[in-house]
């Protein structure tokens, strides 16, 4: 590792630590009450989901509309396992089980459907997620339409924060690795990528499975934080709201996804007092942003400490 | 055998509504490659308009149907003008998100203005049940089937025989070449939205009469199922959308009839995925070869 790389890694680590300490101080001082903590955790879970979806949509260019289905798998795995093993260990075991099931389901769905293109893929993945939801709605082990409740509270905001950092590091490293470049080459031109020896189906599937596994993590966190889950929490509209975060932030920009998740999370909380009007304002804001800034808030811009440091050095010379 | 025919009739009635909606999806997709998510909500607007004119002005059913078609056609053209036209040259995903935004806006706007509660649709036509060879047929079912078939034939005539219809087909094949021969694509797209929305509005009034209850979120699920119908039939193909609509209606009724009503939505999506994997462009879709 070169000196510059160490510096960049240290800067990122310092940023994460600073964020953690900041929230901690705010909790101790009392600025962050249960209401705001709830908002922060929801934002965190949405970040995990939306960054995973951004790998699928933004980096591999595959239009998936079924992300909530994988979230449901994680959430139900945790709810079922922690009901008989209500310990922190049980929670992590259940998270792992959720990831494994989610990966298997993603492979089963992905192999046939990833051959489809654009809107067809979107509609097929949406259908697949709905099938997952209908099955959960009718199984005995998942308690049907009534859902699971009294899930032990095994994770607070620190767990969610750490998980946000871990999944983001993993996804960003994937995006910047050789595999990530292969996936982005497929997005730009599938035939050209195939011509230089990249197997499109294999790499599309890899991105899809990666996104699905992070969605399962988010589902597990959702289950233990909210403590009640029903099949209706994972419907089409939930997949759509994740898609909105990705597109609003800028397809292919992780920084944008972070900002969009935070902006929408805060907007949602602020507008809470408006009642029904809240969704009308939300919808109007969405249409206006899309009409006037079609590439999302940040386009494909990405914040990078590496570039920041080199720029500073260049200005010194 | 008796139950079979009874269920087939029920399936065809439901399917004709899906077919009316699917026609709008398929026309819009064929011409600007946009999944118009707000289409299901235009259908809701049609149902609410029917509810309003029948309750307030005590008009008969035919007036309610035709006026609902005019109102929803105007609404569809307005939506296209305000929300989709500025995005004509931006990525398709952006237009899709905008369509979702319009859908949210219509659903929540209607809930905000008129309340989210479910209403009873006024009985503009009293229901009579007839007994034909042991099968119960209601006059409303006949009305739905006849109205949708008449509308589908009319649509086919407009598309095949009129000048505007020819222009629509031209723009769907190649918008730039169509513009070169003197067709204004904006007018044609606007007309397409009007035509599709009018069919959706008619579907809304008919479903109000059939199920007897309407609410601001009623368009969501039928909208998605009608889109599935359009994809199954081969998106962009008019007869395909009609066939797809009837197929989905029959399939849903059949799943219910064999006692799996909890899985009726899943059955629709399983068929969708199977058809997409086996015939990626649907039953009647054109298979376009990929060029390097």
Q: What is the mean pLDDT of residues B174-198?
A: 92
Claim to verify: residue A88 and residue A186 sit in the same structural domain: yes
> Phi/psi of residue B213, each to 5°?
-145, 140
Work out the minimum CA distance from A118 to partner chain B, whole angstroms: 9
Please check whether residues A131 and A228 belong to one and the same domain: yes
Residues A2 and A132 occupy one common structural domain: no
Same domain membership, residue A104 and residue A43: yes
pLDDT, one tens digit per residue, over A153-209 is: 888 889 999 999 999 999 999 998 999 999 999 988 888 999 999 998 899 999 999
Helix H or strand E encompassing A263: helix A254-270
CA of A235: which chain B residue's CA is closest?
Answer: B221
With an 8 Å Cβ cutoff, are B87 and A290 in contact?
yes
Range of the domain at A27: 1-32
- Please state the pTM of the whole predicted model: 0.84
Chain A residues touching B91 at Cβ < 8 A: 251, 294-295
CA–CA separation, B26 and B24 (whole Å): 6
Please tell me whether residues A12 and A106 are part of one structural domain.
no
Check CB contact of B261 with chain A, cutoff 8 Å.
no
pLDDT bin (cut points 50, 70, 90) of residue B291 is very low
Distance CA A96, CA A99 (A): 5
User: Which of A119, A127, A276 is opposite residue B111, by nearest beta carbon?
Assistant: A276
CA distance A283 to A287: 6
Q: What confidence score (pLDDT) does residue A211 get?
A: 93
Residues A144 and A226 in one domain: yes
Of residues B71 and B284, more confidence is placed in B71
CB pairs under 8 A between A and B: 121
d(CA A137, CA A68): 14
Q: Output b/e per residue, A153-190; b: 16+ Cβ within 10 A.
A: ebbebebbbebbbebbebbbebbeeebbebbbbbbeeb
Residue B197 burial class via C-beta count within 10 angstroms: exposed 0-12, middle 13-18, buried 19 and up: buried
Dihedral sign from CA coordinates of B185, B190, B195, B197: positive
Q: What is the dihedral of CA A52, A58, A60, A63, to 10 degrees?
A: 90
Number of separate domains in chain A: 2
Judging contacts by C-beta atoms under 8 Å, the chain A residues touching residue B108 are 276, 279-280, 282-283
Whether residue A124 sits in one domain with residue A14: no
Please name which of A82, A55, A273 lies closest in space to residue A168, comparing C-alpha atoms: A55
Is B85 in CB contact (< 8 Å) with chain A?
Answer: no
pLDDT digits (tens, 9 = 90+) for B118-173: 888 888 777 778 877 777 788 888 889 999 999 999 999 999 999 999 999 999 88
Instruction: Please list every residue in chain A whose beta carbon sits closer than 8 Å to the beta carbon of residue B244.
Output: none
Cα separation of A199 and A152, whole Å? 44
Q: Determine the pLDDT at residue B292.
A: 44
Mark whether A208 and A232 lie in a shared domain: yes
With H, G, I as helix, E, B as strand and everything else as coil, classify residue B285.
coil
- For chain A, give the percent of residues with pLDDT over 90: 37
What one-character-per-residue DSSP string does B28-90 give?
HHHHH----TTHHHHHHHHHHHHHHHHHHH---HHHHHHHHHHHHHHHHHHHIIIIIGGGTTS
Query: CA B285 to CA A238: how far, in whole Å?
Result: 30
Shared domain check, A175 and A126: yes
Task: Clarify whether residues A122 and A24 are in a common domain.
Answer: no
Q: Are residues A243 and A227 in the same domain?
A: yes
Provide the ipTM.
Answer: 0.77
Predicted confidence band at A317 (pLDDT cuts at 50, 70, 90)?
low
Q: How far is B163 from chain A (nearest CA, A)?
A: 30
Q: How many helices (H) and strands (E) does chain A have?
A: 13, 0
Dihedral sign, CA of B188, B193, B194, B195? Answer: positive
Report CA torsion sign: A134, B36, B111, B45. Answer: negative
B113–chain A Cβ distance below 8 A for any pair = no
Are B151 and B20 in contact, with CB atoms under 8 Å apart?
Answer: yes
| Residue found by looking up tokens 């909210």 in the block | A226
Residue A197 DSSP SS3: coil
Q: CA A204 to CA A210: how far, in whole Å?
A: 10
Residues near A213 by beta carbon (within 8 Å), at least 6 away in sequence: A52, A70, A99, A102, A103, A106
Residues paired with residue B131 on neighbouring β-strands, in sequence order: B136
Q: Are residues A24 and A92 in the same domain?
A: no
> Residue B272 and residue A251: Cβ atoms within 8 Å?
no
Interface-testing mutation among A122, A127, A286, with chain B (most B C-beta atoms within 10 A): A127
Nearest CA in chain B to A292: B86
Q: Is A275 helix (H, G, I), strand (E, B) or coil?
A: coil
Cβ neighbors of B58 (< 8 A, separation 6 or more) are: none
pLDDT digits (tens, 9 = 90+) for A102-116: 999 999 998 888 887
> What pLDDT, in 10s, does the model give residues B13-30?
889 999 999 998 889 888
Distance (Å, rounded) from C-alpha B108 to C-alpha A80?
A: 35
Q: Which residues contact B14 (CB under 8 A, 6 or more apart)?
A: B249, B252, B253
Host H or E run for residue B137: strand B135-138
């Amino acid at each position: 590792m070169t000196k510059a790389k160490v510096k960049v890694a240290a800067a990122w680590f310092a940023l994460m630590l600073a964020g953690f300490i900041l929230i901690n101080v705010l909790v101790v001082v009392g600025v962050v009450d249960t209401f705001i903590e709830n908002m922060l955790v929801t934002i965190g879970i949405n970040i995990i989901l939306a960054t995973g979806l951004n790998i699928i949509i933004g980096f591999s260019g595959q239009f998936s509309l079924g992300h909530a289905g994988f979230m449901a798998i994680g959430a139900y795995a945790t709810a079922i396992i922690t009901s008989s093993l209500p310990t922190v260990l049980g929670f992590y075991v259940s998270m792992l089980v959720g990831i494994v099931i989610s990966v298997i389901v993603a492979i089963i769905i992905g192999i046939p459907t990833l051959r489809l293109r654009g809107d067809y893929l979107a509609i097929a993945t949406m259908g697949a997620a709905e099938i997952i939801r209908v099955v959960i709605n009718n199984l005995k082990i998942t308690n049907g339409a009534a859902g699971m409740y009294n899930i032990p509270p095994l994770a607070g905001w620190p767990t969610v924060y750490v998980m946000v950092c871990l999944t983001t590091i993993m996804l960003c490293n994937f995006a910047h690795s050789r595999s990530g470049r292969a996936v982005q080459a497929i997005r730009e031109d599938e035939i050209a990528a195939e011509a230089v020896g990249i197997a499109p189906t294999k790499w599309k599937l890899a991105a899809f499975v990666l996104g699905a596994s992070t969605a399962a993590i988010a589902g597990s966190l959702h289950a233990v934080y909210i403590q009640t889950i029903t099949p209706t929490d994972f419907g089409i509209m939930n997949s759509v709201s994740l898609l909105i975060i990705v597109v609003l932030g800028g397809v292919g920009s992780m920084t944008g996804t972070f900002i969009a998740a935070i902006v929408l999370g805060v907007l949602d909380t602020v507008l809470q007092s408006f009642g029904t009007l809240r969704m009308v304002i939300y919808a109007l804001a969405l249409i206006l942003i899309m009409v006037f800034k079609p590439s999302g808030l940040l386009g494909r811009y990405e914040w990078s400490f590496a570039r920041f440091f080199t720029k500073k050095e260049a200005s010194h010379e | 055998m008796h139950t079979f025919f009874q269920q087939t009739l029920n399936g065809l009635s439901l399917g004709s509504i899906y077919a009316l909606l699917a026609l709008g999806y398929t026309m819009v997709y064929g011409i600007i490659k946009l999944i118009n998510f707000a289409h299901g909500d235009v259908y809701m607007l049609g149902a609410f308009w029917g509810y309003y004119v029948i309750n307030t002005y005590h008009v008969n059913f035919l007036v309610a149907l035709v006026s609902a078609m005019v109102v929803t056609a105007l609404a569809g053209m307005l939506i296209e003008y305000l929300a989709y036209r500025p995005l004509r040259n931006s990525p398709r995903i952006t237009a899709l998100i905008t369509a979702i935004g319009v859908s949210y806006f219509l659903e929540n706007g209607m809930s905000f203005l008129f309340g989210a509660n479910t209403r009873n649709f006024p009985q503009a036509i009293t229901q009579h049940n007839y007994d034909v060879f042991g099968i119960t047929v209601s006059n409303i079912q006949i009305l739905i089937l006849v109205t949708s078939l008449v509308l589908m034939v009319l649509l086919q005539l407009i598309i095949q025989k009129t000048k505007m219809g020819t222009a629509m087909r031209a723009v769907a094949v190649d918008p730039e070449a169509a513009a070169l021969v003197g067709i204004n694509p904006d007018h044609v797209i606007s007309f397409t939205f009007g035509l599709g929305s009018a069919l959706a509005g008619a579907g809304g009034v008919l479903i109000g009469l059939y199920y007897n209850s309407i609410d601001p979120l009623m368009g969501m699920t039928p909208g998605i199922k009608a889109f599935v119908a359009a994809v199954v039939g081969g998106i962009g193909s008019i007869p395909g959308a009609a066939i797809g609509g009837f197929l989905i209606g029959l399939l849903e009724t059949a799943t219910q009839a064999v006692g799996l009503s909890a899985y009726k939505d899943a059955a629709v999506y399983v068929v969708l995925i199977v058809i997409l994997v086996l015939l990626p462009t649907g039953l009647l879709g054109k298979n376009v070869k990929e060029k390097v």
